Amino acid sequence: MTTERTGIVFNHRGGVGHSAAVGLIAVALGAIVFYIDTFTEIEGAIAVLYVIVLLLASEIVTRAGLFLTVAVCIALAVASYVLTHGPDTDLQTFLRLAVSLSALAITMALLLRNEMFRSELLAKNAAIRDSEARYRSIFDRARVALWERDYSQVRSFLMELKGTGISDLRQHAHNHPEVIDRCINLVRTVAANEAAVELLGPLSADGSPGSMARYIASGDLAFLNLMDAIFNEQTYFEGRGNVTTESGETKLVLLSVSFPEDPAAFNRVVVGMVDITQRELTQMALDEARAELTKASKAATVGALSASLAHELNQPLGAIVVNAQTLLRWLDRDPPDLTAVSRSAERIIRDSQRASEIIQNTRNLLSQKESKAEWIDLYALVHETRALMEQDLQRDAILVDVVLSANVPLVKGVRIELQQVMINLMTNAIQAINGANCAIRRITVGIQPLESDKVSLSIRDSGPGISDEAAGKLFAPFYTTKSSGMGMGLSICRSTLEHRGGRLDGFNHPAGGAVFEITLPVEDRHE
């Protein structure tokens, strides 16, 4: 709305010629009224006729012009009155003048009010035009495919069905599949923006609206969902569906429709569509790749677990063989030393149980079952582990010192797992001491509480320490510097501890030898 209020011509209808004609008639009429009022003997409120002059002027002048006109008319009426009656005026003639002036004032007021309403109407119309233009430009330029569709007929049809007592449209369509096609045919496309034309093709060869049957397959169930939304008088619908483009290509689209509250507005419902065909294909490829990866990683896990099992079982099986040989030797004695035989047999049973627990734990890992966590006294566990390795330690003349700090809390974890880690680290320590043929043959196990609910268990040996070459690769699977090593021990130990919220670090002690430090949370975070 840019026109100024005062600049509006009242009730303007024609061109310049029309205005000039109306202007002349108004001036002539004014002159005639003035003449009759002033120079004839006709008694009556002749000046009332100035109202016609005012009405004519309102056709061609602006608001200021109208004020001027009314002022002139009043001046003429008063002038006639003065000229006709002079100073000796009577009540009757004065009342006639008053009636004429009132008529002019009322007409003026009505014209002004009329003009105000008209201006407001014009402003509203302009605002509607603006918003329509804005909507058009958004509709046309949006990069989302948009259509204006006429759902009024399909709505009426669905409401009629409802009126006949049908309450479940899906059930009804199941029994009468032709209903879906009827609905498809009743939806008309009124307009489509550029993106929509790119997606489905032009409305029709001549650009005229057509039914949806061109894009939607007969009996399409996704379309039934949309109809069901209208049937149940929902305010919006979102769904996926297949559409066939002008070139015959089938596309998967995401459909979004917002229904108007007013049933009369169903003749222009905006429908948005996003082509998700490519996204869906990519997703399918991704899912397939993921499935392949899962298969591959399962195979890798089985491989790693077999390697781990082979490694972990080595120690108890070795111990069983040694104990069995010892047992046979005691039996071969004459007379057999039955006490020693029984001791060896007990060791065999103990190591067999440990082997069985290792297998059980691995099976739990495979079946994703959690092994049982319990409160563990680390000091007791270290002693128990040392007892298990007693033969190796004695054979290689290695001493084990246990240094226990004050206030070490119990830790929650899986006992067999922690024991396996310790056996691995102690076996490495023994091998390091043996490998370097060290004179001092000692393993020191330290247990101490750390800040923030953690406990440290370190195993230090008197071996040569970790070589510079090995330092960066210690925990890498299959890294070994030993001729008969598998290189799995440290990698298994670290992942076992990390799985339970702990960690394992290896470094050289400043005074010589390697240190492997286990850090355990007091509570098993996995629980």
- Contacts with ligand ADP, residue ranges (CB under 6 A): 428-429, 432, 461, 463, 466, 470, 474, 479-482, 485-491, 514
Q: Which two tokens mark 72?
A: 């002139």
**Exposed / middle / buried, residue 106 (Cβ in 10 Å: 0-12, 13-18, 19+):** exposed
Contact 211, 188 (CB under 8 A): yes
- 72 or 402: whose CB is closer to ligand ADP? 402
Query: For residues 270 and 190, what is the distance between their CA atoms, to the nearest angstrom?
Result: 10
- Shortest separation between residue 281's beta carbon and ligand ADP, angstroms: 45
Phi-psi region for residue 479, left (φ > 0), alpha (ψ -120 to 50) or beta?
Answer: beta
- Shortest separation between residue 317's beta carbon and ligand ADP, angstroms: 16
By DSSP bridging, strand 503-508 and strand 236-244 are unpaired
Q: In angstroms, what CA-CA distances link 148 with 155, 187, 205, 271? A: 15, 11, 18, 6
Secondary structure (DSSP) of 351-363? HHHHHHHHHHHHH
Query: For residues 167 and 223, what is the distance between their CA atoms, to the nearest angstrom?
Result: 18
- Shortest separation between residue 366's beta carbon and ligand ADP, angstroms: 22
Residue nearest ligand ADP (C-beta atom)? 489
- 378 or 433: whose CB is closer to ligand ADP? 433
By DSSP bridging, strand 250-258 and strand 503-508 are unpaired
- Shortest separation between residue 374's beta carbon and ligand ADP, angstroms: 26
- 210 or 485: whose CB is closer to ligand ADP? 485
Q: Which two tokens mark 109?
A: 């007021």
Helices 178-186, 152-163: crossing angle, 10 deg rounding: 140
- Shortest separation between residue 306's beta carbon and ligand ADP, angstroms: 15
- Shortest separation between residue 284's beta carbon and ligand ADP, angstroms: 42
Q: Which two tokens mark 216?
A: 């939607």
Range list of β-strands (E), 80-124: none
Q: Which two tokens mark 78?
A: 């008063």
- 205 or 511: whose CB is closer to ligand ADP? 511
- 352 or 480: whose CB is closer to ligand ADP? 480
- Shortest separation between residue 431's beta carbon and ligand ADP, angstroms: 7
- 489 or 502: whose CB is closer to ligand ADP? 489
- Shortest separation between residue 524's beta carbon and ligand ADP, angstroms: 24
- Shortest separation between residue 338's beta carbon and ligand ADP, angstroms: 38
**Residue 484: what are its φ and ψ, rounded to 5°?**
-105, 15
- 66 or 474: whose CB is closer to ligand ADP? 474
- Shortest separation between residue 517's beta carbon and ligand ADP, angstroms: 12
- 294 or 467: whose CB is closer to ligand ADP? 467
- 446 or 485: whose CB is closer to ligand ADP? 485
Contact 123, 170 (CB under 8 A): no
Query: For residues 472 and 489, what is the distance between their CA atoms, to the nearest angstrom?
Result: 15
- 379 or 479: whose CB is closer to ligand ADP? 479
- Shortest separation between residue 461's beta carbon and ligand ADP, angstroms: 5
Contact 359, 313 (CB under 8 A): yes
What's 502's DSSP letter? -
Residues 6 or more apart whose CB falls under 8 angstroms from that of 481 comprise: 467, 469, 470
- 188 or 494: whose CB is closer to ligand ADP? 494
Query: For residues 39 and 34, what is the distance between their CA atoms, to the nearest angstrom?
Result: 8
Q: In angstroms, what CA-CA distances link 395 with 277, 391, 430, 489? A: 71, 6, 11, 22
